[in-house]
Amino acid sequence: MIIKGNLNEAKAELLRLKDIFGRDLYIEIMDHGLTDQGLANPGLIKLGKEFDVPIVATNDCHYINADDHIAHAGDITPVPGPIGLGAGQHWVGPHQASAGRVQLPAL
C-alpha cells in the first residue's frame, strides 16, 4: 500500500490491526537493498510513530550454518533436480548480517 502511495489505506489497515492486536502489534522493517523496502520503510516508521506502534528491524534468516542452505533449498524446491542458491540468493555470516543496512533515525 505504502509503495503505491496509498498511505491512507495503510493507516486504515494499521488501525484495523491495532484494534485486533492492541499492544501486541509491531511493525517489522527490513533492508536488503531492495527498492520497495527503501520506499516502504520510511512510511512504516512514520506510521509507527503516528500510531504508537513499535518498530522492529529484522533480517531475513532461514538457516544458521552455510551448509544448511541445501536442506532449505530442498524444502522450497517443489521439483526434483539440482538444488542450490537461486539467482540473487547468497549466504551471509553473522558479521555480514550484523553490519546491516537499516539506517533508522532515533525513534
pLDDT digits (tens, 9 = 90+) for 44-55: 999 999 999 999
For 72-93, the pLDDT digits (tens) are 665 555 555 444 455 555 555 5
Instruction: Please state the separation of Cα 57 from the chain's center in Å.
Output: 8
User: How many whole angstroms separate alpha carbon 54 and alpha carbon 50?
Assistant: 10
Q: Which residue has the higher pLDDT, 82 or 30?
A: 30
- Per the CB < 8 A criterion, the answer to whether 29 and 44 are in contact is yes
Look over the chain and give the mean of its residue pLDDT values, rounded to a whole number.
76
User: How many whole angstroms separate alpha carbon 40 and alpha carbon 31?
Assistant: 10
Q: Give pLDDT, residue 15.
A: 96
The least confident of 32-36, 49-53, 62-66, 86-90 is 86-90
Q: What is the largest CA-CA distance in the chain?
A: 49
- Per the CB < 8 A criterion, the answer to whether 45 and 29 are in contact is yes
In degrees, to the nearest 5, what angle opens at C-alpha 55 toward C-alphas 16 and 62? Answer: 100
Q: Which residue has the higher pLDDT, 34 or 105?
A: 34
Q: Which residue has the higher pLDDT, 58 or 17?
A: 17
**pLDDT for residue 94 is more than 80:** no
User: How many whole angstroms separate alpha carbon 88 and alpha carbon 84?
Assistant: 12
